[in-house]
Amino acid sequence: MGENKRRMLAGDWYVSDDPELGADTERRIALCGAYNAPGATTSAERAGILKQLLGAVGEGVRIRPPFHCDFGYHIRIGAGTFVNFGAVFLDAAPVTIGADVQIGPYVQLLTPQHELDTERRRAGWEKGEPVAIGDNVWLGGGVIVCPGVTIGANTVVGAGAVVTRDLPAGVLAVGNPARVIRTLDGDEDRAAAVSGER
């Protein structure tokens, strides 16, 4: 394994235009192409492709095509999780999705961070920050989860929300940027504390 890929896997700054990472990208393109081909594969064949593409796939995971990712091998998905059409998981860093998660159409889980310095950005420097989604989370359609975010178990994120910071377990969050509007256990005082209103 080359130094550049080692840096990426360690969460350090790396150059994205790299032959070794390019080979990983070609592998992903081929596997995603086979997975997304209309009518070309059965459910069993798609399950086999996911096992080749992703780092770990739990029992009963269903991902509706089209599905897109950066590398695939950084993605771990727990049992019983459902991912709807058009998901984009950019996995320059680990993307960990728990069990029984519901992911709406066109959800984006984004780990890459790009340089603010114009010269370094032009040279292709980036790094990844992990995204983690807890068990039994529901992400509504079009949700975007930004680099470095963790969403706690049993949380619901409303459609179109942009999650820029961690969300605790058991809350409802909406908006851009996403903010907690209530707990899902009815504890309004806790919801107010979590959202910063108290």
CATH number of 47's domain: 2.160.10.10
Per-residue pLDDT tens over the stretch 108-164: 999 999 989 999 999 989 999 999 999 999 999 999 999 999 999 999 999 999 999
pTM of the shown model: 0.91
Confidence of residue 194 (pLDDT cuts 50, 70, 90): low
Tokens 């064949």 belong to residue: 45
Per-residue pLDDT tens over the stretch 48-88: 999 999 999 999 999 999 999 999 999 999 999 999 999 99
Name the phi and psi angles at 68, rounded to 5.
-135, 145
- State which residues form the domain around 100: 3-195
| Residues acting as catalytic residues | 114
**What spatial distance separates the first Cα and last Cα of the chain, rounded to whole Å?**
50
Mean pLDDT of the chain: 92
Q: How far is CA 131 from CA 7, 15, 189, in A?
A: 18, 21, 28
Number of domains in the chain: 1
Mean pLDDT in residue range 175-184: 96
**Token pair in block for residue 145:** 């989860």
